Amino acid sequence: MAGYNLEAIEAAPLKEDVDIVIPTIRSLDFLEQWRPFLKHYHLIIVQDGDPSINIRVPEGYDYELYNRNDINRILGPRANCISYKDGGCRCFGFMVSKKKYIYTIDDDCFVAKDPSGKEINVIAQHIKNLETPSTPHYFNTLYDPFRDGTDFVRGYPFSLREGVTTAISHGLWLNIPDYDAPTQLVKPRERNIRYVDAVMTIPKGVLYPMCGMNLAFNRELIGPAMYFGLMGEGQPISRYDDMWAGWAAKVVCDHLGFGVKTGLPYVWHSKASNPFVNLKKEHKGLHWQEEMVPFFQNLRLSKESDTAAKCYMELSKMTKEKLTEVDPYFENLADAMVAWIEAWEELNPPVDGKDVKAK
């Protein structure tokens, strides 16, 4: 693999380029275990639920903490686009960040170990994934050709070997798998013990179920499309916040010519949520996903949509036109998508009047 110094990427913390976004309803004692890997980085903590509850953050961390009162103050009438009592509230942290990269993690995830027993530096691996190209147009059977010890295989077109800029790095989890409620109920004791030492590009035109608990992305390229929907209290659906963001962001990446990787790094997911509670939150989504997924598979964005923000505004119109017939909820979601982009652009005006456009 030529042209990419992965040792330099791993050695450099890139602390000026990365924000860590954590949604939570509790004190963040889990950060004690993460200290060797996250202590250099700025944290953006989004407190969900009751804003009067005091959230304790371990000493030594540099952080900002936002609760619902702060969201209401900063966004004003557009604050309703940020989910309440749902992990989707994390996207407020994406909006107020000013860094190039975002890493978001759930507060029940801990440092995992590779098969040799070495603790995994998730930031280093995510940055490797994001700083090296993706190959969405032709599948490489040795997976990511930009990792050490591998390359493009025989038969891979030289015209495609430059790859495309990576916008999203989707990490995985050991121990508790990210299952829906019906699968949890059928397999209550199942644990993911398989460590697969691989990173791969998700091909263009292929969707995937994005999980927000161990996720990194290039905020400058795809940030406006990383909206985690309108979920939680007052809404008929929950636990589909990251799914919605993943489907939308993948379609936008495909349209703009960016890539999405999945695989390494792993975290240790420590706690299984209650499947009966999850079923109440998910039951509409379990039906609606049979309509939502084909919607994303079949939509085509116009050439005029040449930035992530423009793509998302066009997607909001398509959502209202096509999905409202599934349920009136989607009209409210489409309106929230517009409010999200308006708020994003107010807090993040384009530099020198420019925005990141398609390649």
Q: What secondary structure does DSSP assign to 313-339, as a single string?
A: HHHHHHHHHHHTTT-THHHHHHHHHHH
223 Cβ neighbours under 8 A, 6+ residues apart = 94, 95, 102, 217, 308, 344, 348
Helix, coil or strand: residue 345 = helix
Q: What percent of the chain has pLDDT above 70?
A: 94
Q: Which helix (H) or strand (E) holds 261?
A: strand 259-269
Q: Report whether pLDDT(345) > 90.
A: yes
**Band of the pLDDT at 5, cuts 50, 70, 90?**
very low
**Band of the pLDDT at 358, cuts 50, 70, 90?**
low
Beta partners for residue 8, in sequence order: none
Average pLDDT, the chain: 94
State if pTM tops 0.75.
yes
Phi-psi region of 24 (alpha: psi -120 to 50; beta: other; left: phi over 0): beta
Q: Which two tokens stand for residue 88?
A: 């989707």
| pLDDT tens per residue, range 275-309 | 999 999 999 999 999 999 999 999 999 999 999 99
| pLDDT tens per residue, range 246-264 | 999 999 999 999 999 999 9
Q: Report whether pLDDT(170) > 60.
A: yes
**Band of the pLDDT at 9, cuts 50, 70, 90?**
very low
Q: Report whether pLDDT(48) > 70.
A: yes
If you average pLDDT over residues 124-136, what whole number do you get? 97
Q: Give Cα 308 to chain centroid, integer Å.
A: 15
Q: Report whether pLDDT(6) > 90.
A: no
Report the alpha-carbon distance of residue 218 to residue 108 in Å, rounded.
24
Q: Report whether pLDDT(74) > 70.
A: yes
6 Cβ neighbours under 8 A, 6+ residues apart = 128, 132, 147, 148
**Band of the pLDDT at 15, cuts 50, 70, 90?**
confident
**Band of the pLDDT at 357, cuts 50, 70, 90?**
low
Q: Which helix (H) or strand (E) holds 284?
A: helix 275-298
At residue 125, the pLDDT reads: 96
Q: Report whether pLDDT(49) > 80.
A: yes
If you average pLDDT over residues 146-172, what whole number do you get? 97
At residue 14, the pLDDT reads: 84
Residue type, 75: L
Q: Report whether pLDDT(312) > 80.
A: yes
271 Cβ neighbours under 8 A, 6+ residues apart = 108, 176
Q: Which helix (H) or strand (E) holds 172?
A: strand 166-175
Q: Is the peptide bond before 349 cis (omega within 30 degrees of 0)?
A: no
The sign of the CA dihedral 277, 177, 106, 251 is negative
Q: Report whether pLDDT(56) > 70.
A: yes
| pLDDT tens per residue, range 317-341 | 999 999 999 999 999 999 999 999 9
Rg (CA), the chain: 20
